[in-house]
Structure 1
């Protein structure tokens, strides 16, 4: 006698297999969750410390006065006096352009003026006795005034052919030679007043209240032998640069041996020292809007938004977001996950 098999038996077998596979998968997931190892991190315990409130800015040395010497008119250079690297006094003639045509025009106008003045004087005597009408005398007087104006104009053009030192200073390198044809675009040389030096530097707009006229700053000349000099702020640009959002400041240097154009570091005292929590900069996690720190609470990682302040090469000030005694992750930050357990490998104080 043959045994009869139900047509549903294969389907039931498949269902049983799927159920067993599902249970096995869940056991693996539960086992994997139990085996989820905590992230190993290094931490510091946040404690406030006294920090230096000195701002560091980049600047440049500039001469007290600086001018590029250009002629006012075009012409041939007939005289050139540019003692390169030497000091010349204010008013010294530096260059002269050919003015023969202007001198001839001036002499001609002077001769015509002399004749017009004699005519005006004769007509004035005749007018007094009604010998001529008023219109004839007015015409002669107008001719005299017109020639005087021509002479003044020609003399001004002649004055423009002479280039003089605008102030006492050191001459730069000569750019032209005698006999050259020059125009107002031609650079003859430069002159700088280096007996007094200034430094121009910029500060972020957030520190605009830290600097004012009369403030004293320290300037470090970045040379082979770094030296520091004192400088007194003489002016602050009232308009903040719209591109860089920086404030431009100018200070007057005292007893500083440097050349104009030298790069310098400027140190500005931002007020008395204060106590703040300083955290290594590599512990900060930036995102689109905020900056975050990983803080350990009850053995788990918690991400907190923080506000930063003064920053130096290694540390950054935390103005808000964490409190004294908080445990902040500074090593292994990338392995920490929100709400996940962590294992502390090394502990230090932030003020050490």
Structure 2
């Protein structure tokens, strides 16, 4: 009996010790010590370095002069003088129409004018002989002037039978074909002046105060892989309210035959500082 009691007491000793440890109160000193021993994750991390974010501005080359050549009259195209990519000079004929009807109308107007002029001359001589009244002379003069106006109209219509280049440049795309019938206003070809190019890009609106005409910058074109010197020539007239940017126009000052409209690249942001 005594032996069993001793064994029971020995078995309960570990449980009592565990309960005593669990019920030990945590003093402020103990909590402070525990807090000191816990390593701080933030203290082990390296401090965050603020890196200046570079402003990436994209630019594009655009032709200052470009236009869509359209027909001023309805008719059939007789000849297109140029093809895609070919060059032309200012005043060179680009398109010719079939204008046989318009040419005949001009000849008729000229013949009528000649007849009216002769009638007026005869009436003037008859008036000197007192054979006709001054009213008849005035009517003959007016009819001659009307005939002259008809000739001018026919000549103006005939001038529309061919289209001349408004500037020197290059054909971008043909939108019509020879012997095709077109209506007035139909597009025929797109042309550009590929020698007079502008650099166009959008800059942050808060940099507008530093971007003045004459300010120099550099642009690196992706297609060529070269950097060119450029100069601001004008600033856009308004700020885009959504993107808070303003349009800037420049011109490349370095001479190069490699530049083409549509090329794009990056602007050196030092110009914005």
Q: Give the TM bin, normalised by the shorter chain.
A: 0.7 to 0.9
With over 3 angstroms needed to count, the CA separation of the structure-2 counterparts of 1:44 and 1:131, relative to structure 1, is farther
Provide TM-score, normalisation by structure 1: 0.59
Within 2, Cα distance between the matches of 1:242 and 1:107? 60
With over 3 angstroms needed to count, the CA separation of the structure-2 counterparts of 1:242 and 1:138, relative to structure 1, is farther
Within 2, Cα distance between the matches of 1:39 and 1:99? 92
* Deviation at residue 127 of structure 1 after TM alignment: 3.2
Q: Which has the higher contact order (CA 8 A, sep 6+)?
A: 1
Would the aligned equivalents of 1:97 and 1:161 in 2 still touch at CA under 8 Å?
yes
Higher helix share: 2
1:156 paired to 2:133? no
* Deviation at residue 164 of structure 1 after TM alignment: 1.6
1:197 paired to 2:200? no
The structure with the larger Rg is 2
* Deviation at residue 110 of structure 1 after TM alignment: 0.8
Q: Deviations over 1:211-265 (max 9, x none)?
A: 1111111112123x63211111122223334554432221111235333112222
With over 3 angstroms needed to count, the CA separation of the structure-2 counterparts of 1:243 and 1:114, relative to structure 1, is farther
Residue in structure 1 matched with residue 267 of structure 2 by the alignment: 266
1:72 paired to 2:59? no
Within 1, Cα distance between the matches of 2:239 and 2:135? 63
* Deviation at residue 40 of structure 1 after TM alignment: 4.8
Residue in structure 2 matched with residue 59 of structure 1 by the alignment: 59
Residue in structure 2 matched with residue 89 of structure 1 by the alignment: 89
* Deviation at residue 129 of structure 1 after TM alignment: 4.8
Would the aligned equivalents of 1:212 and 1:233 in 2 still touch at CA under 8 Å?
yes
* Deviation at residue 81 of structure 1 after TM alignment: 1.1
Would the aligned equivalents of 1:55 and 1:270 in 2 still touch at CA under 8 Å?
no
Within 2, Cα distance between the matches of 1:142 and 1:205? 65
SS at 2:63's partner residue?
strand
With over 3 angstroms needed to count, the CA separation of the structure-2 counterparts of 1:218 and 1:112, relative to structure 1, is same
Residue in structure 2 matched with residue 13 of structure 1 by the alignment: none
Residue in structure 1 matched with residue 210 of structure 2 by the alignment: 210
With over 3 angstroms needed to count, the CA separation of the structure-2 counterparts of 1:86 and 1:134, relative to structure 1, is same
Q: Deviations over 1:286-327 (max 9, x none)?
A: xxxxxxxxxxxxxxxxxxxxxxxxxxxxxxxxxxxxxxxxxx
With over 3 angstroms needed to count, the CA separation of the structure-2 counterparts of 1:45 and 1:95, relative to structure 1, is closer
Within 2, Cα distance between the matches of 1:38 and 1:187? 77
SS at 1:194's partner residue?
coil
Within 2, Cα distance between the matches of 1:131 and 1:137? 11
1:134 paired to 2:118? no
Higher strand share: 1
SS at 1:260's partner residue?
coil
1:11-90 matches, within 5 Å, as 40-41=41-42, 44=47, 56-90=56-90
Gaps of 5+ in 2: 1-31
Would the aligned equivalents of 1:55 and 1:267 in 2 still touch at CA under 8 Å?
no
Within 1, Cα distance between the matches of 2:259 and 2:89? 22
Within 2, Cα distance between the matches of 1:195 and 1:244? 32
Within 1, Cα distance between the matches of 2:174 and 2:49? 63
CA RMSD of aligned residues (A): 3.3
Residue in structure 2 matched with residue 250 of structure 1 by the alignment: 249
Q: How many residues in Structure 1 have an aligned counterpart in Structure 2?
A: 238
Within 2, Cα distance between the matches of 1:92 and 1:209? 44
Within 1, Cα distance between the matches of 2:190 and 2:60? 19
1:113 paired to 2:146? no
Within 1, Cα distance between the matches of 2:243 and 2:141? 63
Within 2, Cα distance between the matches of 1:188 and 1:260? 20
